[in-house]
């Protein structure tokens, strides 16, 4: 089969690789119908994170099951499934607690020679603990949105939950304002989830006019740049003294600082941006403001059960985040477009 293979910094190719086969009793093999390039795929691509030459690429996978291992009982050939970006057993104590990213036998697509999502077909280990079955009634026009459950959408959902929004949902007028820092796919997902929980107004702080325009499409009440005008004065004004919920979806020093500065005293800051370049944390200010700080990687497999049906039914439409489409053979161009920030999310769709 054809699959994306990492060959060095700035060099991801589509090559002929060994046909995926069931190797363990809990495996499934899927025909990939959607995959995508993630912001975090760019770290090996840019040489920031080590990735071996020959390892596959792509951790966001939606596919139709073609083969099942002998101990797979809840999934069947023909099922459409979305795979979490972290593969988990589904039965250890962390999986049972809903923290599948800390599974005792966690594995990741591509890493260590695993199959990746940028492929015509892929083997998914520990399938029952790793994938979510898409309702068969889901029309194909929702596949892009459903595919985003594999990572970015549920990372944004994690931010919304950790920033306390869900706790205030259902209490009239108590959800209140929220600020999202970051206009990438995760930031836009956090925005969509904040609106879903009823936050208002929601301010999205970003850099790129095209992405901020998508933010407005997804319901952002205000969009603004991180630099330039007095961000703090602006946010204070439109949120009546600062938001209780701030979602930091970048993972760089300036974004973390801004999150702590913008939060209302007594508020919550959720950090889901992978901290790649956070040198200094504004702990003193967070202390003075009595902030609740939460940080972490999203256990997306747990959240698929919450938000999957909402997305599959069309009640939450996040398709605008899936901004560009590439054929599998155009994988190199998809990486370049993401690297140059020419698109929000590069969908990679095998023929
Ligand atoms: Zn991802
Ligand atoms: Zn586990």
Render pLDDT for 27-44 as a digit per residue (tens, 0 to 9).
999 999 999 999 999 999
Ligand nearest to the CA of 102: 2
Evaluate whether 26 touches 69 at the Cβ level (below 8 Å): yes
DSSP codes of every residue in 27-71: -EEEEEEEEEE-GGGHHHHHTSS---TT-B----EEEEEEEE-TT
Q: What pLDDT was estimated at residue 228?
A: 67
Does residue 341 register a pLDDT over 70?
yes
Q: How far is the CA of 268 from the centre of ligand 1 (A)?
A: 25
Ligand nearest to the CA of 301: 2
DSSP E strand boundaries for 184-257: 202-206, 222-225, 245-248
C-alpha to C-alpha distance for 112 and 54, rounded to whole angstroms: 10
Q: How far is the CA of 351 from the centre of ligand 1 (A)?
A: 21
DSSP state of 156: H
Among candidates 102, 132, 172, 16, which has minimal Cα distance to 5? 16
φ, ψ for residue 246, nearest 5 deg? -125, 130
Q: How far is the CA of 62 from the centre of ligand 2 (A)?
A: 21
Among candidates 229, 262, 235, 237, which has minimal Cα distance to 248? 262
**pLDDT tens across 224-253, in order?**
987 766 999 999 999 999 999 999 999 989
Among candidates 244, 306, 247, which has minimal Cα distance to 272? 247
CB under 5 Å of ion ligand 1: residues: 38, 151
Q: 166 to each of 109, 110, 316, how far by Cα in Å?
A: 31, 34, 15
Q: How far is the CA of 338 from the centre of ligand 1 (A)?
A: 12
DSSP codes of every residue in 286-346: HHHTT-EEEE----HHHHHHHHHHHHHTTSS--GGG--EEEEGGGHHHHHHHHHTT--S-E
CB under 5 Å of ion ligand 2: residues: 88-89, 92, 95, 103
Residue 141, preceding peptide bond in cis (omega within 30° of 0): no
Ligand nearest to the CA of 126: 2
**pLDDT tens across 147-205, in order?**
999 999 999 999 999 999 988 776 656 789 999 999 999 999 999 999 999 999 999 99
Q: How far is the CA of 336 from the centre of ligand 2 (A)?
A: 35
Q: Which of 215-229, 237-251, 316-330 has the lowest mean pLDDT?
A: 215-229
**pLDDT tens across 64-99, in order?**
999 999 999 999 999 999 999 999 999 999 999 999
CB neighbourhood size of 188 (10 A): 32
C-alpha to C-alpha distance for 84 and 100, rounded to whole angstroms: 9
């Amino acid at each position: 089969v054809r699959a994306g293979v990492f060959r060095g910094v700035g060099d991801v190719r589509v090559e002929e690789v060994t046909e995926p086969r069931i190797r363990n009793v809990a495996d499934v093999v899927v025909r990939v119908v959607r995959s995508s390039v993630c912001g975090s795929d760019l770290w090996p691509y840019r040489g920031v994170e080590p990735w071996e030459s020959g390892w596959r690429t792509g951790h966001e996978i939606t596919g139709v099951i073609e083969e099942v291992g002998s101990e797979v009982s809840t999934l069947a050939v023909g099922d459409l499934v979305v795979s979490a970006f972290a593969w988990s057993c589904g039965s250890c104590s962390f999986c049972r607690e809903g923290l599948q990213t800390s599974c005792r036998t966690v594995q990741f697509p591509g890493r260590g020679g695993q199959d990746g999502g940028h492929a015509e077909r892929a083997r998914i280990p520990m399938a029952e603990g790793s994938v979510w079955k898409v309702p068969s009634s889901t029309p194909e026009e929702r596949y892009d949105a459903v595919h985003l459950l594999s990572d970015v959408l549920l990372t944004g959902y994690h931010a919304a939950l950790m920033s306390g929004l869900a706790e205030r949902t259902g209490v009239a007028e108590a959800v209140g304002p929220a600020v999202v820092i970051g206009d990438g796919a995760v930031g836009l997902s956090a925005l969509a989830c904040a609106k879903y929980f009823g936050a208002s107004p929601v301010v999205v702080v970003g850099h790129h006019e095209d992405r901020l325009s998508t933010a407005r499409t997804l319901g952002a009440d205000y969009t603004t740049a991180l630099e330039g005008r007095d961000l703090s004065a602006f946010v204070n004004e439109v949120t009546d003294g600062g938001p209780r919920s701030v979602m930091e979806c970048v993972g760089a020093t300036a974004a973390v600082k801004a999150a702590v500065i913008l939060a209302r005293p007594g508020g919550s800051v959720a950090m889901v941006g992978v901290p790649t370049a956070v040198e200094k944390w504004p702990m003193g200010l967070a202390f003075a403001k009595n902030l609740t700080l939460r940080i972490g990687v999203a256990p997306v497999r747990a959240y698929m059960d919450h938000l999957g049906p909402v997305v599959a039914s069309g009640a939450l439409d996040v398709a605008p985040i899936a901004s560009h489409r590439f054929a599998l053979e155009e994988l190199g161009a998809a990486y370049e477009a993401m690297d140059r920030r020419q698109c929000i999310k590069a969908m990679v769709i095998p023929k």
